[in-house]
Structure 1
Amino acid sequence: MLAQESKGTINPTSPLALRFHDVLALATSTGPWSPALLAAVDMAARWHFNVTACYVPGALREQRAYESEPTVMSLLTDVEYECLDDAVAFQTYARSHGALYASWTVTRTAIAPTLRKLGAWHDLAVLERDMVDEVRIFDILGEAMLSSRIPCLVLPPQWNQAVSFERVVIGWNGSFEATRALHSALPLIKLAKEVILINGEVRTPYDNQISVAEPDPIVYLMHHGITAKPHYIHVPADKAGETLLAKAHDAHADLLVMGAYGHSRIRERVLGGATRHVMAHADIPVFMQH
């Protein structure tokens, strides 16, 4: 089970509980249940919320968004997952473990459009990094996160543990993406017994003249009842991801929170260097948002 909050079990009507109402998990298996499903049910049970499982057939996991027209092969693959038995089995499993409501669906399109369409109905998506082939992590899974903009909890390969939020490391550099990730992750950060904020922001002498003054992240967290330890780093951009993971390992973190950075090219989205490094090498769950 997830780590218990120091003040006891969360009241389903509390402000904290109301932040995450619907959790989506992209599933890759039913026997045994996919790690994303287990993690989503665990969280839904913790807050007594709704969970949606979406099975992604194997043929569609390697398909780019612009290749999302269903092929004959993809339509014929894994047809057994349309069976009502899977829906009933998952609903029974999720409800018996404490989820408020559970639903099961199967996609017939690529991961990116699936996450974009279903993500609009949910507060958080749970993904398995190894649901796609290693060589296509960035152009499939990364593209999905950048285009959907839903907060994503990305599980490392072969994840077989309960998700814990006892020690949380936040990567923050003053960017819009990092700030949105910090804000969206507040319900999880509030569960932590120890929070470390890695601040890599670089300010110019004219920041306050050309932009609106923003809250200090440590003070912002304090206003939400969170005491965070600040660590300041100054490293080249190409070392940011490596440094962030090293700091998370040093802190024995259970969760890393960071923005998902990227930029657009024609017909594709490309992840920034720090995001790519963390996605490729993280061995703990990572909370990301673009």
Structure 2
Amino acid sequence: MSIRTVLLHAAPDSGFDDRLAFAVALARQTGAAVKALYTLYPAGVPRVGRALSIYVNELVHEAKEKEPAFKAKFEQALAAAGVAGTWTVVDGEVTSALRDEVTFADVTVVSETPYGTVDDQLAATLPEHLALACNGPVAVVPTGKPVPARIGRALVAWKPSREAGHAVRFALPLLATADEVEVLTVEEGDPAATASGARLVAWLNSHGVNARHHHAKDGAAGVTIANEVQKFGADILVMGVYSRSRLAEMVLGGVTASLLVDPPAALLVAH
């Protein structure tokens, strides 16, 4: 399997330029086309109440006015990179609109957005909601951080869970094009983690992936993963999300929550 379609969430928030650059670079590296879905309806706002409807209608009107400028950016970026693509405008709930398209795309690109503009604040919960709702991988691009021209180094945060397994299988076409892949396991009271990491490396090698294993005996997983991203110089972090319930993550804290809030690099996640 190879990456042939990159689905891009297009909307007038401050993360658009960074995720556009990431989507185009990914498409150029893998020979894919980019399908942009420009969503008029704001993320995270239910269609309830007259007053709220008036507010939503104003946001939709603003999104329509901004659409030509964002479409022009999209077309210019594709032309400069020599990448094919399409631009579609949809008037529907964002997560649902994207979820309907994920089945027919190989990677979906969204952003981690800071709490800046109204559009940013409304889009802030989109990555986790989409990752939980979709049957494909989601790339979460940090806003305001350097965007790699290509994915040369990939870090896989591994533990033998269903979610991590899904993420690695979805990421396999991308991992095969990377120069170096590191599989990171963190012990956290599970001495069997290192053996599982070694087995994953052997499996990746059998698929032509240039992978090696690094095992960390000490440290909390979230902090260790973030530090290793910087140490390894990873362009992307591959990981499963919410291997325990979202409620448990909210109460106890968790790796998914910490890394989605402040990604150390672009994330490729799956549930």
Pair in the same fold by TM > 0.5: yes
Partner of 1:3: none
Q: Which residue of 2 aligns with 1:288?
A: 269
TM-score (norm: length of structure 1): 0.73
Checking the alignment, whether the CA contact within 8 Å between 1:30 and 1:86 is kept in structure 2 is no
> Cα gap change, 1:229/1:146 in structure 2, threshold over 3 Å: closer, same or farther?
same
How far 1:125 moved relative to its partner? 0.7
Contact 1:172 1:198 in 2 (8 A): yes
Please state how far the C-alpha of 1:132 moved relative to its aligned partner. Answer: 6.4
The range that moved more, 173-182 or 116-125, is 116-125
1:242 maps to: 223
Instruction: Map 1:22-101 onto structure 2 (within 5 A).
Output: 22-29=5-12, 34-57=17-40, 60-63=42-45, 67=46, 71-79=53-61, 81-82=63-64, 85=68, 89=72, 92-93=75-76, 96=79, 97-101=81-85
Contact 1:23 1:125 in 2 (8 A): yes
Alignment of 1:13-28 (within 5 A): 19-28=2-11
User: Partner letter of residue 12 of structure 2?
Assistant: S
Alpha-carbon distance in 1 for matches of 2:175, 2:115: 28
2: CA distance, partners of 1:221 / 1:119: 25
CA distance in 2, matches of 1:181, 1:121: 17
Change (3 A) 1:154 1:119: same
Alignment map for 1:1-290 (pairs within 5 Å): 19-29=2-12, 34-57=17-40, 60-63=42-45, 67=46, 71-79=53-61, 81-82=63-64, 85=68, 89=72, 92-93=75-76, 96=79, 97-109=81-93, 111-130=94-113, 139-200=125-186, 202=190, 216-234=199-217, 239-262=220-243, 273-290=254-271
Equivalent-residue separation in structure 1 for 2:133 and 2:249 (angstroms) = 11
- Name the CA distance, whole Å, in 2 between partners of 1:62 and 1:255: 27
| Aligned counterparts of 1:75 and 1:31: Cα–Cα separation in 2 | 21
The whole-number CA distance in structure 2 between the counterparts of 1:247 and 1:281 is: 15
Amino acid at match of 1:169: L
Question: Which runs of 5 or more structure 1 residues have no equivalent in the other structure?
Answer: 1-17, 205-212
* Residue ranges of structure 2 left out of the alignment (5+ in a row): none
Residues 211-244 of structure 1 deviation map (CA, whole Å, 9 limit, x = unaligned): xx999201111111123221123457xx211111
Report if aligned partners of 2:162, 2:243 keep a CA contact under 8 Å in 1. no
Label 1:30 to 1:52 Cα distance change in 2 as closer, same or farther (>3 A).
Answer: farther
Letter of the aligned partner of 1:184 in structure 2?
A: F
The answer to whether the Cα contact below 8 Å between 1:91 and 1:104 also exists between their aligned partners in 2 is: no
Contact 2:136 2:170 in 1 (8 A): no
For the 8 Å contact 1:197–1:230, the answer to whether it is kept is yes
Distance 2:244 2:9 in 1: 24
Q: Distance in 1 between matches of 2:237 and 2:224?
A: 12
Contact 1:181–1:259 at 8 Å: present in 2 too? yes
Task: Tell me, yes or no, if the aligned pair for 1:143 and 1:269 is still in contact at 8 Å.
Answer: no
Measure how far apart 1:121 and its partner are.
2.2
Give the letter for the 1:221 counterpart: L
The structure-2 alpha-carbon separation of the partners of 1:242 and 1:28, relative to structure 1 and needing over 3 Å to count, comes to same
Identity rate, percent: 23
Q: CA deviation at 1:195?
A: 1.5
User: Counterpart amino acid of 2:86?
Assistant: A
